[in-house]
């Protein structure tokens, strides 16, 4: 097996030089890849047990002031029915989620100027008092330090903001002129310094992406140490400038999940909706590759299809709050169970095994 020693080094030291990441991303050696996935799954099990955390994903608005070239809810898409949830709809949805066992709510949306920081602070404060044993995660794009701070003080503890791509030139190919890689990174640093559990990540196979871009993404994630890492394949949306580009590869996404798991054994890594959209067994394949989180959709059914980031986005069945039993059944086939709880990031071993995972060792 060609890359066994590289994978073992990643497993032991949690970091590699660029050349080694390059080799892992370009190899066609099936045996090495099987070893990579096995190691990643073993490390995940050592840290978290055979448990999967669930987060209720509530898409609170599909209005967006940005015009990202890949995204179906971009400002320039005039073929989309736009919606924004009211405070009471958000609370109602969280109630439904709470009854089904969710203890984390992820409020995601476009950058909607009508959902002002004052309004969001009120929503977060209310959720925090109504669900004191739940974590509130936000995924609402770029804001000022002061806005992030106000939301943090109101009770939001986690923030997902994918860096999308570390390379500034690639970033400019994916985004309109007024957005920049530097601003994105500045936001991520602000979030970390405010004490948010912070999520970064990128799309896999986005237009113009090179292997070198992905190596840079890995090196960035290695150094930034996000508590959460969200990656999924790029999927074309028919009403965007990228409608003719091919979808990213789900298998290559699994390879990256495994590398990221060995890099950050304690990170929260979802098997994402995009992965489940392209692979019918995306959840279980993601978990077997080292993911440990699934985010079923909690958005009211009447508007769920309108949060159309890309074509054929999954949001029903095992990808939804209504389908939790289906998800349980999928997971039980691979002998995993849903763990009810907040599922916070914790850089210690949660499930000591005969060969426990120390902070810098992976069994
Ligand atoms: N406005 C928020 C939420 C964006 S949607 C923010 O800026 O963070 C959440 C994620 O969906 C994005 O970060 C992006 O990585 C992903 N996404 C958007 N369009 C996509 C597409 N066409 N294919 C795959 N993933 C996409």
- 192 in a domain, yes or no? yes
- 355 in a domain, yes or no? no
Specify the CATH number for the domain of residue 278. Answer: 3.20.20.70
Query: Looking at ligand 1, which residue's alpha carbon is closest to its atom 2?
Result: 141
User: In sequence order, what are the residues at sequence separation of 6 or more whose Cβ sits closer than 8 angstroms to the Cβ of residue 325?
Assistant: none
Q: How confident is the model at residue 351 (pLDDT cuts 50, 70, 90)?
A: low
Are 334 and 340 contacting, i.e. CB atoms less than 8 angstroms apart? no
- 46 in a domain, yes or no? yes
- 167 in a domain, yes or no? yes
Q: What pLDDT, on the 0 to 100 scale, is given for residue 285?
A: 98
Helix (H) or strand (E) holding 72: none
Which atom of ligand 1 lies closest to the CA of 201? Answer: 15
Q: Compute the C-alpha angle 207/248/319, nearest 5°.
A: 125
- 361 in a domain, yes or no? no
Q: Which among 188, 203, 238, 276 is the best mutation to test ligand 1's pocket, defined by most ligand atoms within 8 Å of the CB?
A: 203
Report how far Cα 136 is from the mean position of its chain's Cα atoms.
Answer: 15
Predicted TM-score of the model (pTM):
0.96
Which atom of ligand 1 lies closest to the CA of 236? Answer: 22
- 359 in a domain, yes or no? no
Q: Is 77 helix (H, G, I), strand (E, B) or coil?
A: coil
User: In sequence order, what are the residues at sequence separation of 6 or more whose Cβ sits closer than 8 angstroms to the Cβ of residue 106?
Assistant: 55, 56, 57, 58, 137, 138, 139, 160, 295
Q: How far does the centroid of ligand 1 lie from the alpha carbon of residue 154, in Å?
A: 25
Q: What are the tens digits of pLDDT across the range 30-48?
A: 999 999 999 999 999 999 9
Q: How far does the centroid of ligand 1 lie from the alpha carbon of residue 361, in Å?
A: 33
- 26 in a domain, yes or no? no
Cα–Cα distance measured from residue 185 to residue 187, given in angstroms and rounded to the nearest whole number: 5
The predicted model gives 52-58 an average pLDDT of 97
Residue list, ligand 1 pocket, CB within 6 Å: 70-71, 108, 110-111, 139-141, 161-162, 164, 203, 232, 234-235, 237, 274, 309-310
What torsion, rounded to 10 degrees, do the Cα atoms 93, 99, 102, 104 define? 60
Q: What are the tens digits of pLDDT across the range 221-273?
A: 999 999 999 999 999 999 999 999 999 999 999 999 999 999 999 999 999 99
Q: How many residues comprise the chain?
A: 363
Q: What are the tens digits of pLDDT across the range 142-162?
A: 999 999 999 999 999 999 999
Mean pLDDT of the chain, nearest integer: 95
Is the pLDDT at 98 greater than 70? The verdict is yes
- 214 in a domain, yes or no? yes
Cα atoms in the 13 Å half-sphere on the side-chain side of 94: 27
Where are any strands of DSSP class E within 266-340? 293-294, 337-339
Are 227 and 198 contacting, i.e. CB atoms less than 8 angstroms apart? yes
Q: How far does the centroid of ligand 1 lie from the alpha carbon of residue 1, in Å?
A: 36
**Distances in Å between the alpha carbon of 328 and those of 46, 188, 213, 304?**
21, 33, 36, 22
Q: Which among 55, 66, 70 is the best mutation to test ligand 1's pocket, defined by most ligand atoms within 8 Å of the CB?
A: 70
What six digits make up the tokens of 282?
Answer: 């995306």
Q: How far does the centroid of ligand 1 lie from the alpha carbon of residue 229, in Å?
A: 13
Number of domains comprising the chain: 1
Q: How far does the centroid of ligand 1 lie from the alpha carbon of residue 235, in Å?
A: 10
Give the closest residue to 276 by CA, choosing from 322, 310, 227, 240: 310
Q: What are the tens digits of pLDDT across the range 121-144?
A: 999 999 999 999 999 999 999 999
User: In sequence order, what are the residues at sequence separation of 6 or more whose Cβ sits closer than 8 angstroms to the Cβ of residue 93?
Assistant: 56, 58, 85, 298, 299, 300
Which range of residues forms the domain containing residue 113? Answer: 35-337
Q: What are the tens digits of pLDDT across the range 264-320?
A: 999 999 999 999 999 999 999 999 999 999 999 999 999 999 999 999 999 999 999
Query: Looking at ligand 1, which residue's alpha carbon is closest to its atom 19?
Result: 71
Q: How far does the centroid of ligand 1 lie from the alpha carbon of residue 28, in Å?
A: 29
């Amino acid at each position: 097996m060609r890359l066994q020693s590289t994978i073992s080094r990643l497993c032991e030291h949690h970091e590699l030089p660029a050349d080694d990441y390059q080799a892992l991303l370009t190899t066609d050696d099936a045996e090495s890849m099987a070893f990579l996935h096995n190691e990643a799954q073993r490390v995940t099990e050592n840290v978290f047990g055979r448990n999967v955390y669930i987060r209720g994903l509530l898409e609170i608005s599909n209005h967006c002031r940005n015009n990202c070239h890949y995204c179906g809810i971009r400002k320039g898409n005039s073929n989309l029915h736009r919606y924004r949830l009211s405070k009471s709809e958000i609370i109602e949805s969280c109630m439904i989620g709470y009854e089904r066992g969710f203890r984390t709510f992820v409020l995601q949306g476009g950058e909607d100027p009508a959902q002002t920081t004052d309004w969001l602070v009120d929503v977060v404060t209310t959720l925090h008092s109504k669900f004191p044993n739940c974590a509130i995660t936000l995924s609402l794009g770029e804001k000022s330090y002061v806005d992030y701070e106000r939301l943090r003080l109101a009770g939001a503890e986690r923030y997902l903001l994918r860096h999308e791509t570390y390379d500034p030139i690639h970033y400019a190919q994916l985004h309109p002129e007024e957005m920049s890689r530097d601003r994105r990174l500045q936001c991520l640093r602000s979030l970390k310094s405010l004490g948010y559990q912070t999520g970064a990540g990128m799309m896999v196979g986005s237009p113009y992406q090179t292997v070198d871009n992905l190596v840079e993404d890995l090196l960035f994630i290695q150094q930034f140490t996000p508590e959460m890492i969200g990656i999924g394949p790029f999927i074309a949306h028919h009403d965007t400038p990228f409608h003719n580009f091919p979808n990213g590869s789900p298998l290559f996404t699994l390879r990256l999940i495994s590398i990221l798991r060995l890099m950050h054994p304690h990170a929260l890594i979802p098997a994402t909706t995009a992965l489940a959209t392209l692979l019918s067994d995306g959840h279980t394949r993601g978990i077997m590759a080292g993911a440990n989180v699934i985010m079923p959709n909690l958005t009211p059914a009447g508007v769920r299809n309108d949060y159309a980031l890309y074509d054929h986005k999954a949001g029903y069945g095992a990808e939804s709050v209504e389908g939790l039993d289906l998800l349980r059944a999928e997971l039980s086939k691979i002998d995993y169970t849903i763990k009810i709880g907040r599922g916070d990031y914790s850089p210690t071993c949660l499930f000591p095994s005969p060969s426990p995972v120390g902070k810098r060792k992976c069994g």
